A and B are shown apart, each in its own frame.
Chain A
Amino acid sequence: MAIQSDTKPLLEVKNLRIEFPTRRGVLTAVDDISFDIMPGEVLGVVGESGAGKSLTGAAVIGLLEPPGRIAAGSISLEGQRIDNLPYEKMRQIRGRKIGAIFQDPLTSLNPLYSIGRQLVETIQTHTDMSESQARRRAVELLADVGIPAPERRVDQYPHQFSGGMRQRVVIALALAVNPKLVIADEPTTALDVSIQAQILDLIRKLCKERNVGVIIITHDMGVIAETADRVAVMYAGRIAEIGPVRDVIKHAKHPYTHGLMGSIPTIGHDTEKLTQIDGSMPRLTDIPRGCAFNPRCPKAFDKCFVDRPELIQVEQTRAACWLYEKEAVHG
């Protein structure tokens, strides 16, 4: 990774573990993951359903739903720990420093209030702006996210907007008070394919302009390829591989990532048959010993069934795989 030593990471997640206490014992949904994000950087988090990617996002913004809880590790924003803040302090960070974009724009907006009112409310919660200043800002924001005739649209209600337009409103809400970090959880999954690229471009463009760090959570490798600078591949609550998008896509190190890439059709290449990974991701109740991917891994050997691999630096990326143990450079 090319981290300039003079820049401090915007967000640091260290050894994060998220647990769900249940009647049959404690389930570990996210197990000991670490990553960081630089200002203005777009990190893609990709994985299957249940890999723990959305929970990671929820933990960062402090909205894990009980009984889910952060059991270990730390989350720091601009060097300040935010995982153990009292509710009220964390509330002031939400929206102010960390914005969120959710999956379904049709249900993310309150149907009973005009979008202007929802924007003004968000702005006034976090700033001292007057009603009219906040309203002017709301109109600006709507223009920034590409909504035509914002002066007129600002007084309309969510049901008067199409899905793509509503997601633009959601983006405007997420960026309303210039947060440092935006968490976009499946921001395009509910949208038409034709709209998806526009929305992704918009998120990327706005965040680059404002030097906002972004976590894009998705199960769609295409979204990552289009938007992210770096990607973290999650599997069964752990990071399998993390590194620059180009390297991970072109030269996947972890057998899981490799399988994942093989399952994406490419235009212009005559692929006979897409590869598929046999089996499915283990349930949280029976994650195997050693590497969580070992039952499905074509390259698994003895050690994979005994010890859990740490992330090992391989060229530009880091992969949690014993295959690369010899190559690891310690120190």
Chain B
Amino acid sequence: MFAFIIRRLLQSLIVMLAVAFISFSLFNFVGDPVNNMVGQEATAEQREALRVQLGLNDPFPIQFARFIGNAVQGDFGVSYRLSRPVSDVIATRLPATLELVFVAAVLALVIGLPLGVYTGLHRHGFGSKVLLTLSLIGISLPTFLIGIMLILIFAVWLGWLPSFGRGDTVQIGWWSTNFLTVAGWKSIIMPAVTLCLFQLTLIMRLVRAEMMEVLRTDYIKFARARGLSNRAVHFGHALKNTMVPVITITGLQIGSLIAFAIITETVFQWPGMGLLFLQAIQFADIPVMAAYLCLVAFIFVVINLMVDLLYYAVDPRLRVERSGGGH
């Protein structure tokens, strides 16, 4: 178990290095940040001086080594666009995105899981058919369209919810939260719903497929033959056996929620990292872009590690056998 974690951590380290390398080398080709930083009238000497100051003239390996060396200390340099340390910029944006992703993930799980169980149990029921049809819509409609439709209905026509921004936030240390004010909750509803819709339908369909698979197994038949209640059979025995694939997919989806958040944040002008990243691309703000990609990769790695550990919690077959088992 412990050796397993160490091994996974080492693998994660390699992944992080690879991501850092790829993102850093890619961004050397997205444009010259100096053009955006100095005015039209800047002389060639001024430009050159700035390049030297930013270290842009150094050979690639040296630039990369400097980037890694600073990054492990949490220093991703200074944003070219905002002239502030990238770590500060990200620290102000990170809570917004994480809270959005958190609410979306919770919604997707809390709604998707029961709906999946329901449609898996009542395969031929009318309710299941309606839900499956609706889920097709959820899977096929693009995020920005759903977002804009929600804004049209709930912000423009009904005027119930704000159409953009985070509303009122409360500062706790460096973390700003939506969860402590009514306006904050009102603001997060629409972006979170928009963001979760795809994941929700995915989880629902996955749980449904897994449930149908598991319900056919012998141990479910045997559980029924033992006279266990439907509740125990469906939730105790069947649902738990669907959990390994569901945990895998959900874990990966939390990562892609952060990625999808770019679009949602743009539609709702949500001041999170996705929006920051888009602005950084337009400005060729390399330090911000590199830091963003490294952070997302880091979150992915952490989630994957947690998923692996959850397998151990769910499935006893994966646990290390100390007491020399069967014979």
Binding site for B on A (CB under 8 A): 61, 63, 91-96, 99-100, 102-104, 107-114, 121-122, 125-126, 152, 156-157, 159-162, 165, 170, 173-174, 176
Contacts and interface: CB of A to CB of B under 8 A. Distances in A.
B218 A125 contact: no
B226 A125 contact: yes
20 contacts: A63-B221, A91-B224, A91-B228, A94-B225, A95-B225, A95-B227, A96-B227, A100-B222, A102-B222, A102-B225, A103-B218, A107-B217, A108-B218, A111-B315, A121-B228, A121-B232, A122-B227, A157-B316, A161-B326, A162-B326
A126 B227 contact: yes
A109 B225 CA distance: 12
A160 B221 contact: no
Contacts of A170: 222
Interface in B278-327: 314-317, 321, 323, 325-327
A111 B221 CA distance: 14
Contacts of A152: 323
Contact of A63 (B225, B236, B237, B241): B225
A111 B229 contact: no
Given A95-B225, A96-B227, A125-B229, A160 B325 contact: yes
B228 A125 contact: yes
A173 B227 CA distance: 11
A112 B222 contact: no
B7 interface: no
Interface string B153-174: 0000000000000000000000
Contact of A173 (B218, B226, B241, B326): B226
A84 to B, nearest CB: 18
B241 A112 contact: yes
B223 A110 contact: yes
Interface in B193-246: 217-219, 221-230, 232, 236-237, 240-241
B242 to A, nearest CB: 11
A112 B218 contact: no
A229 to B, nearest CB: 23
